[in-house]
Structures are given as structure tokens and as C-alpha cells.
Amino acid sequence: MFQAKIKAETLKKMIDIVSPLVNEVKLNVSPKGISLRAVDPAHVAMVDLEIKASAFEEYKAEDMELGIDLDKLGSVMKLAGAGDTVQLEFDEMSNRLIVKIGNLVRKIGLIDTTGMTEPKVPNLNLPAKITVKASDLYQGVKASEAVSDHIALLANRDFFELFAEGDTDTVNLRLPKDLLIDLDAPEKCRSLFSIDYFSSMIKPVKGDQPLTIYLGNDNPVKLEFEFADKNARATYLLAPRIESE
Amino acid sequence: MFQAKIKAETLKKMIDIVSPLVNEVKLNVSPKGISLRAVDPAHVAMVDLEIKASAFEEYKAEDMELGIDLDKLGSVMKLAGAGDTVQLEFDEMSNRLIVKIGNLVRKIGLIDTTGMTEPKVPNLNLPAKITVKASDLYQGVKASEAVSDHIALLANRDFFELFAEGDTDTVNLRLPKDLLIDLDAPEKCRSLFSIDYFSSMIKPVKGDQPLTIYLGNDNPVKLEFEFADKNARATYLLAPRIESE
Amino acid sequence: MFQAKIKAETLKKMIDIVSPLVNEVKLNVSPKGISLRAVDPAHVAMVDLEIKASAFEEYKAEDMELGIDLDKLGSVMKLAGAGDTVQLEFDEMSNRLIVKIGNLVRKIGLIDTTGMTEPKVPNLNLPAKITVKASDLYQGVKASEAVSDHIALLANRDFFELFAEGDTDTVNLRLPKDLLIDLDAPEKCRSLFSIDYFSSMIKPVKGDQPLTIYLGNDNPVKLEFEFADKNARATYLLAPRIESE
């Protein structure tokens, strides 16, 4: 049994967060809420997402798995207005997810979750923790896209920095400690990443919302942020690129 | 002789209504106003449109036919602002329509109307009449496009409904009597239509403007709405699709 | 040595003015300001641009030439907001232009200016001078694009006119003296031009900003306008098309 009511914007945010990595996901439904974990087809990035029961306006569920095509869910969610509430219901008879927005009813055929294994979160050594307003990162990432396809992230006691280098051009964005919400880097850390992935991972976090970055040396980066009034949380992991120099 | 002044928005609306079906039309000009009737090349849909002399700010005309390329008229009308008035004049010498917007003058070569016959409106048995706000339909039609290329329209004493069915997914939008402006369906009616056509036919009607639907059983649907302060009227006819079941 | 601060909008305007003609330019830097002169690859149009030192918020420079790729400068300028100030600095060591917007630093590799010769401004006989609000021209040029690929400009004592003629259709826009900011045409002048070029030349001048047109008979047209509070000036020259009639 699964019956829930949720703000359209929370469901849209979930789709925005997950769909850059995968189109088909296995939702783990439990009385405590909904969670999912998925890796992209290239095995470069992982997303781990949790929406607590408290994020819903109404929530009744027992343990189950729902295989969802996010393109389908996204296409109907586009028709929901900013303040709309969406009703979700699992129809066991037809094995479909019923999505209701006002008088509109879309029934989405569920996909088979048999082959969808749960990826494991690796053990990571990420000594630096940086909390930054999303909008402060955005400009640096966009500028970097013009000169390279990879970006270095650096942190030390005094600042956090993005750096990208092309054949003739470079981009860097240095955010000193006083421009960050929080900086805790006991040692100097530096890792290199694909800009495409990194860019799509910061995109769901808008304006001056905080984004926490966990950084190591030639290690994956972990990005974490909350949404739905802190009743939901997303974590991305992105594998490093090997420096060719 | 044909000399007229009309609000740009009325002429733009005429183009928006007719151009999804045909690019070249024969305008029937008379002292009472302008009318046209046209079918699309696939003979699936017909439009019948009338702009009364009272819709014009100035109007002087004798009986004549004008063959108009709507792409040409549309391209110059794009340059008219929201509150602009457009002057229209038939130049017999050069066989052109003179369109004046402020100081701008576009002369449009007319097309030969010799081969353009007037399509006949078929006799139809459409017992159900539904009047609905255009915006209430829009969401259901957009959602239906994602699951199928045809849509069923249903009406009975209690409600009006759109229904679309794909391989795994369905969409339906049920509007009960109290959400409709008017519902008069003495018997249950149901017909199936191409979503593409139906979607382009409701697009010219904006927001909460009323749209009247005449529906039968496996019969064409008739859509009717007014514009230009009720001084103009458009009617679409759309042939049904044969149900494959 | 070159170190300067300038409003982002002034630098963006420079790019908007020059980039329709060329992507790579040689900036002539001197203590008095920056200037450039360039012709498009087809040798149909020339741009001559000057930004005085007074247009800058800070300005220190000695005589030098900077070879700039406008696509690169444009890509980073897109990230500057409306009220942003941009810092420019020539880095002699690395032969790069350093562009700073807030905490963002883009270093742009300069291009070799050795082969880039200074085009000469030809001697022209342009007896008519017309000053017009840019927005009044815009509609006529857009309408002309729909009927032809060339446009005639005409001026006499009483009016200024655009005229375009296609196979069946014509467009003209006549602006009488009282709708112009200024008209000084001692004799009738008429020349024909490519609409594409003319259209891209009036595009950087927005709304009711004045644009001065110098016109002759079968001669190039000269377009002139100021920006950055009259501390900068752009001049376009456009070669005439030969009338085929």
C-alpha cells in the first residue's frame, strides 16, 4: 500500500536531481518515507536521495519497491503549477502508479525492479568540508565550461577554489573563507572532475541555498544539500578524473 | 472595393485559428464582413470563420474574393504591437492587398482563387453540447500527448471527459458538471480524435475564454468560440478516428 | 601596461557591435582609450569603434596592440550581471588578457596581430544626413527581410524611406521629416544594400537611441551612434549593392 500527497515542487525537485544521472529508478518505499540510490550508466556518479514522510502532506505506506520511469513522471509533473499538490497512489491490480493533479489522472506503468541492484557507497577519505551558496559556484562552473572539460576543486585553511585550464586560457574562482558559509580544511585538498557532471549536480540547488562539498586528494567529491524544508536530502558522489600531467 | 481598419490582435487571432490547417485561403469579402471556409490537405479538419463588419474600426467593401497567403500576412502582423491598428486595402491595379501598420506598408501579392472551392459543412448528429473554459481542457490534452496520438472525448448527463490510452499508461481528465460552464448531454456520447489536430484547435482559445464542444457517437466534433468582443466567430470540425478495438 | 575597470554593459555593447562582422580583432590601446577598425571577411562592411578613457571607471595604459578573440571575451562577459564592473589587465609574461568579474578570473590567450592590417576609410560623397530613433527603423527592416534580401534607402528634403521589393510583394517605410530627429538632404539620395548586413548593424542600437545615417547615390552608407554616456562611438560603413535593373 502506498498513498501520498506531496507538493508538486518537491516531486519536481526529485526529478531534477536524479534525471541527469538515470532515467529509470527503483524507489524504496517504507513507512518512514521514500529513498533511492542510483549510479549513472558510466559509473562515474552516484545519487542518494531521501524524502522523509514528514515532507508529504499525507503519507501512508508499507515496505515496497516502485520502478519509475522519470521521463514519464516528469512529463506529467510539467503540467502541475507552482502551488499544486500531487496525489500519488500505487495501484496493485494494474501495477501502475496513479498520479493525480487536480482533475487530471495519469496512470504510469511501473518497470520491473528485479535486475536493479542497490549500489554501495564506497569508503572515502574526504578531510575538507566546504559549505557555499549555490549561486557563488555557478558562475565559476559556467566560465570553466568554455575553456576545458574538467575542473579542479581545491580547498585549504583560507579558501575554496575552482580551477580550469585549456590550451591557451584558464578560469579560476577563489572564494575566501569569509565568502563561504563554512570552511573546515585541516590540510590542502585537490581533486579533478568532469565539468559536465559537476555542473549538472549543482544545477538543482538554486540561488543562495547552501550546498556542502566534501573534498579529498584525488578522491571522489561528495555534494550534499537539503530541500522540502529540510525534510528531504540529496547526496551526490562524483569520481575523480586522473590528472594527465 | 475593400478598405478596412482592424485591431491587430483580431487579425492575428484569425491567422492563429486558420494557419494550423491551411496556408492559403480564399477570403469572402462582402458588405457584412469577411468569412472563410477551408479544409486541411488531409481532409480531416475544417475551419469556418466569420469576422463581422462590426469587428472593424472602419469597413467599406463590396462583394469579392481575396486569395491570401497567411504566412505572408502573418510575417508582417508579427511586427504589429498589442494595441496597433492595421489598415487593409485591396489594390485592384496591382492585384495586391495593402497592409499598413503605422508608417510601414506591406503590399502582398494575392493568389489565384479560381481552383479554390468552398467546402460543404456535412450534416451531423451531435446531441451533446459542452461549454468549458479553454484552460481547463489544455492540461488534459497536453498530458494525453505523452501517452498516445489519439484522444477520446466523452460526455454524459454528469460530466465531460478526455481519455487517452498508451501501451502501459493512461491519461484522463474528468470535468464534472459543476466545473463546466454548460453541459447538455441527453445521452452518453463518445468519439475518438487525433490529438495533434485537437490540440491545435484549442490553442487559439486562451485562459478562461469559453469554448463550446458539440459531440456525438463516432461522429465529428464541432468546436465553436467567439472573439473580437463577439463580433467574430470560429468553428472547427474534426473527423473522428476509427477505434481499432 | 594596460589596466582598466569598465562597466560590463559597455564591454558587452562593444562585442555586440563588432562580432557580427569579425570574431578576431586588433584593439589599439593608448593612454586616450581603446579603438579598433575591422572589415568583415567578404569586405562588404567596416566597423570603426572608439571607447575613450573617460568611459572607464579606472584606466591606465601605454600604447600597445591586443589581439582579441571576441567569442572568448563574449563567453565570459555573459556571466557578468547588469550592474557588474569588469577588471581588465594585460599580463605581459603569459601574453594573456586577464578578465576579472567579482571573484571570477578568466585569462584569455591573445592572438597574434602581425598579419592584421588596419583597413583604410575610403573617401565618400554622402550628402544626406538622417538622424532617427533606432526603434523606428527596426520594424521596416524586419518587414523587408520577408520579401527580399536587399533594401533601398532613400532620402530627400521631406522624408527618409526604406524600400524592399520581392517577386510579388513590396515593403516600404516612409518616415517624414517630423518623425525624424534630424534630416538634412539637399538633394535626393538613393542606394541599395544587403538587408542582412544592415539589420545586424542597427541591432546594437536599442529603443529610442539616436542613430545617424549618412547616405549618397549608389555609395556606401555610414551609420554612427554613441554609447557609454557618449564616451564611446561606433561607425559602420556598408558597401552598396549594384541595382540589377
- Digit-coded pLDDT (tens) for C203-239: 999 989 999 999 999 999 999 999 999 999 999 999 9
| Mean per-residue pLDDT of chain A | 96
82-121 of B, contacting C, C-beta below 8 A = 96, 101-109
Domain spans in chain B, listed from the N-terminal domain onward: 2-109, 128-238
- Whether A146 sits inside 8 A of C101 (CB atoms) is no
- ipTM comes to 0.91
Cα Rg of chain B (Å, integer): 19
What CATH class has C128-238? alpha beta
For the segment(s) B2-109, the CATH number from 3.10.150.10, 3.40.50.1370, 3.30.365.10, 3.30.465.10 is 3.10.150.10
Number of H helices, E strands in chain A: 4, 18
Residues in chain B within 8 Å Cβ distance of A107: 169-171
The phi and psi torsions of A217 (rounded to 5 degrees) equal -100, 115
B146 touching chain A per CB within 8 A = yes
Q: Give the mean model confidence (pLDDT) for residues C10-29.
A: 97
Q: What is the pLDDT of residue A123?
A: 87
The per-residue pLDDT for C243 is 67
Give the mean pLDDT of A5-24: 97
Average confidence (pLDDT) over B123-132 = 95
Spatial distance between the Cα atoms of B74 and B19, rounded to a whole number of angstroms: 9
Could you tell me which of B220, B193, B227, B162 has the C-alpha nearest to residue B18? Answer: B227
Residue C103 predicted with pLDDT over 70? yes
Nearest beta carbon to residue B140 from set A104, A107, A108: A104
Question: Under an 8 A CB cutoff, do B107 and C169 touch?
Answer: yes
Give pLDDT, residue C106: 98
Span C56-100, pLDDT tens digits: 999 999 999 999 999 999 999 999 998 999 999 999 999 999 999
| pLDDT over threshold 60, residue C132 | yes
Side-chain-side CA neighbours of residue A237 (13 Å): 20
* Identity of the residue in C143, C175, C179 whose CB atom sits nearest the CB atom of B79: C143
Is there a contact between C51 and C228 (Cβ–Cβ < 8 Å)? yes
Please state the separation of Cα C158 from the chain's center in Å: 27
Instruction: State the residue for C-alpha cell 588578457.
Output: C97
Query: Which H/E stretch holds residue B88?
Result: strand B85-91
Q: Quick one: average pLDDT of B84-100?
A: 97
Distance CA A101, CA B138 (A): 13
pLDDT at A244: 61
- With an 8 Å Cβ cutoff, are A147 and C106 in contact? yes
C159 and C174 Cβ atoms separated by less than 8 Å: yes
Partner-chain residue, chosen from B96, B106, B109, that has the shortest CB–CB distance to C143: B106
C173 lies within 8 A of chain A by CB: no
Per-residue pLDDT, C245: 52
* Amino acid letter, residue B17: I
Q: Which range has the worst mean pLDDT, A227-236, B16-25, C117-126?
A: C117-126
User: Tens digit of pLDDT for each residue in A103-138?
Assistant: 999 999 999 999 888 899 888 999 999 999 999 999
Helices (H), A176-229: 195-202
Contact status, residue A164 vs residue A172, Cβ threshold 8 Å? yes
pTM: 0.92
Question: In A, which residues are within 8 Å of B174 by CB distance?
Answer: 103, 105
Which of A185-203 are b and which e, b meaning 16 or more Cβ less than 10 Å from the residue's Cβ? beeebbbbbbbebbbbbbe
The reply to whether residue C146 touches residue B76, judged by beta carbons under 8 angstroms, is: yes
Q: Decide if pLDDT at B94 tops 70.
A: yes
Q: What pLDDT, in 10s, does the model give residues A188-206?
A: 999 999 999 999 999 999 9
Q: Spell out a b/e string for B197-219, using b for 16 or more CB atoms within 10 Å of the CB, else e.
A: bbbbbbebbeeeeebbbbbbeeb
Confidence band for A242, pLDDT divided at 50, 70 and 90: confident
Distances in Å between the alpha carbon of A1 and those of A62, A65, A240?
6, 11, 41
Does A170 contact C at CB distance below 8 Å?
Answer: yes
Give the list of residues 6+ apart from residue B92 with CB closer than 8 angstroms, or none: none
Write the DSSP symbol of residue A145.
Answer: H
pLDDT of residue B118: 87
| Best residue of A107, A110, A111 to probe chain B, by most B CBs closer than 10 Å | A107
Given this chain, do its domains A2-109 and A128-238 carry the same CATH topology? no
CB nearest to A106's CB, from B143, B174, B175: B143
Q: Give the neighbours of chain B: at least 3 Cβ pairs within 8 Å.
A: A, C
Mean pLDDT over the full length of chain B: 96
Strand arrangement of the beta sheet that strand A182-184 belongs to = A64-69, A24-30, A33-39, A45-52, A232-238, A221-227, A210-215, A128-133, A182-184
Residue C197: other Cβ atoms inside 10 A: 21
Q: With an 8 Å Cβ cutoff, are B169 and A79 in contact?
A: no
Residues of chain C contacting residue A140, judged by C-beta atoms under 8 Å apart: 103-104
Tell me: the pLDDT tens digits for C179-206? 999 999 999 999 999 999 999 999 999 9
**Averaged over A211-239, what is the pLDDT?**
97
The angle at the Cα of C237, spanning C86 to C20, to the nearest 5 degrees, equals 45
Which pLDDT value is given to residue B56? 98
Residue A117's pLDDT is what?
85
The string over B1-26, giving b where at least 16 C-beta atoms fall within 10 Å of a residue's C-beta and e elsewhere, is ebebebbbbbbbbbbbbbbbbbebbb
Cα(C2)–Cα(C193) distance, rounded to whole angstroms? 39
- A76–B146 CB contact, under 8 Å: yes
Query: Tell me, what's the pLDDT at C117?
Result: 85
Region B169-191: mean pLDDT is 97
CA C127 – CA C222 distance, rounded (Å): 11
Whole-angstrom CA distances from C189 to B240, C62, C129, C194, C244 are: 62, 43, 10, 17, 18
Q: Is A147 on the interface with C (CB under 8 A)?
A: yes
CA A20 to chain centre: 9
Contact assignment for A103 to B143 by CB distance below 8 Å: no
The mean of the pLDDT values for chain C is 96
Q: Does B152 have pLDDT greater than 90?
A: yes
Task: Give DSSP secondary structure letters for A226-244.
Answer: EETTTTEEEEEEEPPPPP-
The C-alpha atoms of residue A119 and residue A121 are separated, in whole angstroms, by 7
B240 pLDDT band, cuts 50/70/90, is very high
Q: Which residue of chain A comes nearest to C110, CA vs CA?
A: A168
- Residue of chain B whose alpha carbon sits nearest to that of A99: B171
Query: Under a CB-based contact definition with an 8 Å cutoff, are residues B186 and B217 in contact?
Result: no
Q: Do B143 and A109 touch (CB under 8 A)?
A: no
Residues of B in contact with C172 (CB under 8 A): 104-105
pLDDT at position C82 is 84
Residues of C within 8 A of B109 (CB-CB) are 167-169
pLDDT mean over A210-219: 97
Q: Does B1 touch chain C (CB under 8 A)?
A: no
Q: How far is C-alpha A135 from the geometric centre of its chain's CA atoms?
A: 16
CB contact under 8 A, C104 and A140: yes
What is the grid cell recorded at B138?
Answer: 489544455
Which B residues, 11 through 30, put their C-beta within 8 Å of a C-beta on chain C? Answer: none
Question: Please, which residues have CB within 8 angstroms of residue A9's CB and are 6 or more apart in sequence?
Answer: A82
We find that the CATH architecture of domain C2-35+51-109 is Roll (3.10)
Contact partners for chain A, using 3 or more CB pairs closer than 8 A, are: B, C
Q: Is C169 on the interface with B (CB under 8 A)?
A: yes
Distances (CA, A) of B66 to B26, B90, B110, B113: 6, 8, 7, 7
Asked if A34 and A27 count as a contact pair (C-beta separation under 8 A), the reply is yes
The pLDDT value given to residue B243: 67
Contact between B173 and A103 (Cβ < 8 Å): yes
Whether pLDDT at B245 is above 70: no
